[in-house]
Each structure stands twice: as C-alpha cells, then as structure tokens.
Amino acid sequence: MAWRKQQSQDRFFQQAKKEGYRARSAYKLLEINDKFHLIRPGDKILDLGAAPGSWSQVAAKLGKAPKIVAVDIQPIEPLPGVQTIQGDITKEETIAKIADALPEGADLVLSDIARAASGIRFADHARSIQLAQAALEIARRFLKPNGAFVVKVFQGEDLRDFVEETKRWFETVKVFRPQASRQESDEHFVVCQRPRKETSK
Ligand SMILES: C[S@@+](CC[C@H](N)C(=O)[O-])C[C@H]1O[C@@H](n2cnc3c(N)ncnc32)[C@H](O)[C@@H]1O
C-alpha cells in the first residue's frame, strides 16, 4: 500500500523531469492557476522562496513575457526571463532589493516558502505562519490593485487566524490543497484575490 502511494506521488517527480521543471512543485502552481486563473500575459510576478525555480519556470511559461523576480535565501541557478535575489524575506535589506527590482509593484505575489522541517509539528507550524505573515506584509506592500497573492501554510492551530488576517486585506480568500501536494504533507495554499483598496499600491 505504502509503495503504491509513493509511486503515484512520484508521478509528479517523473513528469517534472520529463517536462524540464526543476521541481515537482511546478504542478502545484499549475493546479492553483488552473483553478484561480491568476497568471496573465505580461504580469509582474514576485516569487518568494523560489529556489530551485520551478514556480518561476511556470510563471515564465504562462505569463508570456512577464517580469519575474525570484527571491530565496539560497542561490537560484539563472533562469531565462527571471531576475533573482538572494536574501531572507524577513530582512529589510531583501525588501529594499525587491523594491529596486519592482518599482512599479507586482500583479502577483507567490510564496511557496518553507523552512526545512524540524519534525516538531507545532514549531514547524509556528515558523510557517511567521514566514507566511512576512510574505503577506510584502504582498501588501508591493501588490497592485487587482493583484493576487498565493501563500503556502501548514495545517495547525494558527492557520484559521492567519486566514482571517488575510481577509482583512483581500476581498476573496480561498484555502486550496492541490493534488500534487504529497499526501503526508500538511501544506495548504491560501489564495487571496482583489486587495481591499487601502492595501494596494
Ligand atoms: C519548497 S521550496 C520552494 C520551491 C519552489 N517554489 C520551486 O517550485 O522550485 C521552499 C523555499 O523557501 C526558501 N526559504 C525558506 N525560508 C526563507 C526565507 N526566510 N527567505 C527566503 N526564502 C526562504 C527555502 O530556501 C526553499 O528554497
């Protein structure tokens, strides 16, 4: 049974290899985009926690000549059409670099950020909420009117409060779990659309 489960999940890994995506996570963004239609031609897209780069690859492909700024604490191998910034999104110096790269703001802010799991469930959840909050601050700062924000969070006691917080800033908020998420993972994606007037640039 366990091997069967693993094999079906690995289909995304195999598909990513075949289709040239750097990670199987690409299929999560493809599913999110199929459902919510977020990526539009020529969009300016900010991809937080972007390494190794599969979400930026998807954004570059679907966005048709978009401007993509990809940020990660780890280095990201160069990708055509993608400007990379190495930095911690919780640090002001990284936010200053994002401001330089996107002076006109972003149509879409993506955050697939995750720290290596410690295995201590409540600590991993708390850290994921902190990083999601940092991503929300960045989205509030850089999103244009009619922009959208997608952020990964892990299931846990603070998820509901975080979702309520996003509703203060966005008119439409949905929690979505793609098929491509591994069964053993607690991850969910909060998809926020239509920034309330006072939040957008
Ligand atoms: C699941 S991976 C992202 C995968 C990526 N979306 C893709 O499709 O290739 C999560 C990333 O978050 C990054 N990360 C974790 N904490 C961060 C932080 N504070 N600032 C920036 N990036 C961070 C990690 O280095 C890691 O590369």
pLDDT of residue 155: 87
Q: What distance in Å separates the CA atoms of residue 12 and residue 31, rounded to the nearest whole number?
A: 12
Is any atom of ligand 1 closer than 6 Å to the C-beta of 28?
Answer: no
Q: Is 44 a catalytic residue?
A: no
Query: Which amino acid does the sequence have at 115?
Result: R
CATH number where 101 lies = 3.40.50.150
pTM flag (> 0.85): yes
Tens of pLDDT, residue by residue over 190-199, are: 999 999 986 5
The tokens describing 160, both together, are 């509901």
The tokens describing 145, both together, are 């009117």
Strands 187-195, 143-154: pairing kind = antiparallel
pLDDT of residue 57: 96
Is any atom of ligand 1 closer than 6 Å to the C-beta of 113?
Answer: yes
Sign of CA dihedral 172, 178, 181, 183: positive
Domain total of the chain: 1
**Residue 106 burial (10 A CB sphere; 0-12, 13-18, 19+):** buried
**Nearest CA residue ID for atom 27, ligand 1:** 51
| pLDDT, mean of residues 146-171 | 95
pLDDT of residue 144: 96
Tens of pLDDT, residue by residue over 119-137, are: 787 888 888 999 999 999 9
| pLDDT, mean of residues 10-38 | 94
- In the set 97, 152, 197, 201, the catalytic residue is 152
Q: How confident is the model at residue 6 (pLDDT cuts 50, 70, 90)?
A: low
> What residues make up the domain containing 152?
2-199
